[in-house]
Amino acid sequence: MIVEIGHFALILAMFAALAQSCAGLIGGQRADYRFYTFTKRATDITFVAAAVALIALIHAYLTSDFSVKNVVENSHSLKPLIYKIAGSWGNHEGSMLLWALVGAGFATFLSHSKEELVWTLKSRALGVQGLIVALVIAYVVFASNPFIRLPNPPFQGNDLNPLLQDPALAAHPPFLYLGYVGLSLVYSLAIAGLLDGKVDAVWARIIRPWALASWVFLTVGILLGAYWAYYELGWGGWWFWDPVENASFMPWLLGTALLHSAIVTEKRGALAAWTVLLAILAFSLSLLGTFLVRSGVLTSVHAFALDPKRGVWILLILALFTGGGLLLYGLRAGVMNSDKGMFAPVSRETALVLNNLFLVVATLTILVGTLYPLLGEAIYGRAISVGAPYFNAVFTPLMSIILVFLPVASFFSWKRSKISTHAKKLIPALIIAIIGGLVVAFIAQNKPMSAVGVSLGVWLVLGAFSEFLQKAGLGKSNDVVKRAFALRPMYWGMFIAHLGVGVFVIGAVVETSFQKEQTFAIGIGETVQFEGRKITLDKIASLEGPNFYSDAAQISVNDGKKTIILNPARRYYPAAKMPTTEVDRKASLFGELYMALGEPNSESGASKWVLRVYFNPFIGWIFGGYFLIALGGLLSLADRGLRVAAPKASGDIAKAAS
Amino acid sequence: MKKFFSSIILLLGFVAVNAFAQDLDPKQNERYNNLAQEIRCVVCQSEPVATSSAKIAADMRDVIKEHILKGESDNQIRKYFANHYGEYVLLRPQLSAATIALWASPFILLIMGGAVILLLMGKLKSTPEEIPPESIPTKTEEDAEALAALKELEEK
């Protein structure tokens, strides 16, 4: 019964979203407040109805209702509670339902936000968002319905892919979707701006918090995914340039570009047309990502529930919103010709334009690399693989170039700047960075690129500090610390995020260059040597979990001073017929000891276990750096200046704010 | 059950430790590690043989080692794999007529983007040196008014 209520609510949400769409667009077009009021009510109904639908699905998972096909395919009565809840969106149908709910949720937030002065823009944005949500729900209802009942329900379900039964991965899809779908609202606001004929500083000010929020969500989502890959897949890696990872990384990169260009539009009234284009493309790429992941066009380790028929649906939605958006963009090019803000070649504007150039080229490079196997097949009839070595070879240099300039560019002022006046403030940072690089070059003589990479990371970290302390009045005032804390959250955000980039670079370079890995075959009671440590397999215990069996090892590691115990394990999930590796890790100041237990191996008579041991130096810096980037975004979001309602005298504010 | 359990794991799990491990000197070992990242495991989904747990990936890793020990160059080894399993097996596509567009795309995109920016900036105004700093508006009365309005809003 509850499943049917959910099913009904879903269809209701679809019609409510359609009503929201029509009323919103008409309300904006005719500047009729009655339609606007109507679309706001419809937005609330869409959201509530979509929420009821998801809650009904979660209820079916919680009660293990195996008369529902989706529950049978993705759940098991013995599965722990948290994964029953997360399992409802850990599959294709449920995840698309979550997509629709988040889309409706963003619309509701916008509808209740305080920016009433620009209500025609809001009305149109709700209209566009309504159309997106309506089409996604239509797709769920007609092509991937999670509420389908089975005529002959089985007694037990097939269980969720055990790799996905993990706390980080329970939270990974919601965050990623909050990011992806948040970009849909930025897209809606961009289209609304085009329709409204006003794409200016006020518009930029309205979209920026939404862009920032979705970008923060996307950052956290990617971080959770990378962290999960690191400890769950048992390979000691955290980024594989897998098509699905690329699908989330491309909107993130474009989102990063969008944040930077929106600053220029907001503060200087320039680059408006460019910002709109980025808003359209960022959402298009998140749709494209959804298409690539769900259609199975590209094989990927993440692929689940593939169905070419579904691909066609998503492709149509993608074509409509990308094509429609770009068409409107072309038709309305005139309204954006407000790019009056003049700037000299050396200025903050130029720096941000270059930032955008590199971020967009990097994004397109990843796009070309991700899609190239399809092109190769279609045009040349050859099966070509494009993998991590390619992406590392092209992406890393592109990003390095732009990152070298980051500390210098962050000193630039608007309109016109001089390199020479700022150069001396960065000399200490430059010297320390070079020393850092030399130290690495001395330690690892055969790895010149690692030295360059570490140097770059140190340069970024110290550059961020230099710029921030400068802002706090270093050299001019005695209480720099006090003044630093008095700075607006926006500046703190910029500082922390740029600092995070540096921390990440150091971590990534050190980890990839100096990771140590060795595989052992080890019997119980035996000891092996690894990087100055004695590793002993004490025992293997067979345990039974709620829905798995486990072989857990007890391994003592002696580094000459003290002994620590690690417990890597292997699990076997009988319902899903899959083994998983449960690694165990021990972090120390400079890195992390990481162990993955392999299978028992009795070929040579005595029973041995395969044990993969890694030392991952500075791994915490990678995730820590990425976390700082997200934190920086969050701090910027907390800035009140971003959230004040845009006043009518819009153009002036833009100038004043500079 | 236990036996079934371990046989499944044997089938799907990590595959044996390498017999050749000791024979590579540090430099060869580094080449081996890089090549293992570049050769795709043929039964997996977009995974290099370096990380794959499939049996065939382990065999392919051994083949890489054998060829390094034979004294072949990285390119010879890549070619060997491409001939045996098809171009598909190379995660870093070789430069050829079919992949030239792939390898050139970053450069072309960067040059095109740079050219567009230069063009637009040139259009925005002729030479920046001609504009003395004073002529760029900084603070007018309007700005002051707007600033006051902004302050008011922020205080709210």
Tell me: the pLDDT tens digits for A130-142? 999 999 999 999 9
CATH code of the domain in which B70 resides: 1.10.8.640
pLDDT for the residue numbered B154 = 57
B28 touches A: beta carbon within 8 Å: no
Same domain, B113 and B83: no
pLDDT of residue A573: 85
Q: State the average pLDDT over residues B109-122.
A: 87
What is the Cα–Cα distance from A252 to A271, expressed in whole angstroms?
20
> For residue A657, which residues of chain B lie inside 8 Å, CB to CB?
150
B32 near A CB under 8 A: no
Same domain for B122 and B73: no
> Does residue B135 lie in a domain region?
no
Q: What tokens appear for A135 in the block?
A: 């089409």
What's residue B152's pLDDT? Answer: 62
- Binned at pLDDT 50, 70 and 90, residue A445 comes out as confident
Percent over 70 (pLDDT), chain B? 62
Q: Are A6 and A88 in contact (CB under 8 A)?
A: no
Q: State the virtual CA torsion across A628, A634, A636, A641 in degrees, nearest 10.
A: -170
- Rounded to the nearest integer, the mean pLDDT of chain A is 87
Highest-pLDDT range among A168-182, A436-450, A491-505, B120-134: A491-505
Angle at A31 between CA A29 and CA A33, to 5 degrees: 125
Distance from the Cα of residue A515 to its chain's centroid: 25
What pLDDT band is residue B132 in, cutting at 50, 70 and 90?
A: very low
Which residues of chain B does A638 touch, with a Cβ-Cβ cutoff of 8 Å?
none
Q: Above 90 in pLDDT, residue A475? A: no
- Number of compact structural domains in chain B: 2
Write the pLDDT tens digit of every residue in B34-65: 898 889 888 776 778 887 777 888 889 889 98
Q: Which of A541, A594, A535, A605 is nearest to A570 (CA)?
A: A541
Q: Give the pLDDT mean for A238-249.
A: 87
Structure tokens at A297: 């066009």
pLDDT bin (cut points 50, 70, 90) of residue B13 is: very low
Is residue A542 within 8 A of residue A553, CB to CB? The reply is no
Across A426-434, average pLDDT: 91
Cβ neighbours around B80 below 10 Å, total: 14
Of the pLDDT bands very low, low, confident and very high (cuts 50, 70, 90), residue A314 is: confident
Nearest to A387 among B48, B137, B154 (CB): B48
Q: Flag whether B123 is in a domain.
A: yes
Contact assignment for B13 to A570 by CB distance below 8 Å: yes
Of A384, A542, A649, the CB nearest to B98: A384
Task: Report, as an integer, the average pLDDT of A244-263.
Answer: 92
pLDDT tens column, B57-115: 888 988 998 899 888 899 999 999 988 888 888 888 888 888 888 999 999 999 999 99
Q: pTM of the prediction?
A: 0.87
Residue B4, pLDDT score: 43
Q: How far is A362 from chain B (nearest CA, A)?
A: 7
- Beta strands, E only, A159-247: none
Question: What burial class does residue B44 get, using C-beta atoms within 10 Å of its C-beta: 0-12 exposed, 13-18 middle, 19+ buried?
Answer: middle
Rounded to whole angstroms, how far apart are CA atoms A516 and A503? 21
Residue B144: closest C-alpha in chain A: A656
Q: Tell me how far apart the alpha carbons of residues A288 and A290 are, in angstroms, rounded to a whole number.
A: 5
Give the model confidence (pLDDT) of A584-633 as tens digits: 999 887 899 999 988 777 665 667 888 889 999 999 999 999 999 999 99
Q: Output the pLDDT for position A395.
A: 94
Tell me the Cα Rg of chain B: 30
Minimum distance, in Å, between the CA of residue B45 and any CA atom of chain A: 6
> Region A266-293: what's the mean pLDDT?
88
Distance CA B156, CA B152 (A): 6
pLDDT tier for residue A89 given thresholds of 50, 70 and 90: confident
Q: What is the pLDDT confidence band of residue A173, given thresholds at 50, 70 and 90?
A: confident
Cα separations in angstroms, A237 against A226, A370, A594, B30: 9, 20, 11, 17
The mean pLDDT value for A190-198 works out to 90
Distance CA A89, CA A612 (A): 33
Interface test with A, best of B33, B103, B109 (most A CBs within 10 A): B109
Beta bridge partners of residue A558, listed in sequence order = A534, A563
Instruction: Tell whether B60 and B121 lie within a shared domain.
Output: no
Rounded-to-integer distance, Cα A272 and Cα A189, Å: 13
- Give the tens place of pLDDT for each residue, A508-554: 999 988 888 888 888 888 899 998 899 999 988 888 888 888 999 99
The pLDDT of residue B51 is: 77
- Assess contact for A45 and A12: CB atoms under 8 A: yes
For A634: left if phi > 0, alpha if psi spans -120 to 50, otherwise beta; the answer is alpha
User: Residue B81's domain spans which residues?
Assistant: 2-89
The reply to whether B146 falls in a domain is no
Residues B72 and B13 in one domain: yes
Are B102 and B62 in a shared domain?
Answer: no
- Closest residue in B to A357 (Cα) is B113
* pLDDT at A267 (0 to 100): 84
Tell me, yes or no, whether B132 lies in a domain: no
The reply to whether B80 and B16 lie within a common domain is yes
Q: What is the pLDDT of residue A635?
A: 94
In whole angstroms, give the CA distance from residue A195 to residue A277: 14
Residue A487 CB-density burial (10 A; 0-12 exposed, 13-18 middle, 19+ buried): middle
Question: Which DSSP state fits B71?
Answer: T
Buried/exposed code over A555-584 (b: 16+ C-beta within 10 A; e: otherwise):
bebeeeeeeeebebbbbbbebbebbbbbbb
Rg (CA), chain A: 27
pLDDT of residue A106: 95
Q: What is the mean pLDDT of residues A310-330?
A: 89
Is B100 found in the same domain as B84? no
Is residue B136 very low, low, confident or very high in pLDDT (cuts 50, 70, 90)? very low
| H, E, C per residue of A596-631 | EEEEEECCCCCCEEEEEEEEEECHHHHHHHHHHHHH
Indicate yes or no: CB of A342 within 8 angstroms of CB of B125. Answer: yes
Domain check: are B44 and B107 in the same one? no
> What is the rounded CA–CA span in Å between residue A566 and residue A502?
31
Contact B14 A649 (CB under 8 A): no
The answer to whether the complex's ipTM is over 0.90 is: no
**All structural domains of chain A with their residue ranges:** 1-165, 198-307+330-412, 516-620
Q: Is residue B136 part of a domain?
A: no
Q: What is the pLDDT of residue A566?
A: 93
Q: Assess whether pLDDT exceeds 80 at residue B18.
A: no
Determine the Cα–Cα distance for residues A204 and A265; give it in Å rounded to an integer: 6
Q: Tell me whether residues B88 and A384 touch, CB distance under 8 A.
A: yes
Quick one: what percent of chain A has pLDDT higher than 70?
A: 93
Task: Give the least confident one: A103-112, A247-256, A261-270.
Answer: A261-270
Q: Coil, strand or helix: which one is A470? A: helix
Q: Tell me the per-residue pLDDT of A334-343, one tens digit each, with 9 for 90 and over.
A: 777 555 566 7
Partner-chain residue, chosen from B14, B103, B121, that has the shortest CB–CB distance to A599: B14
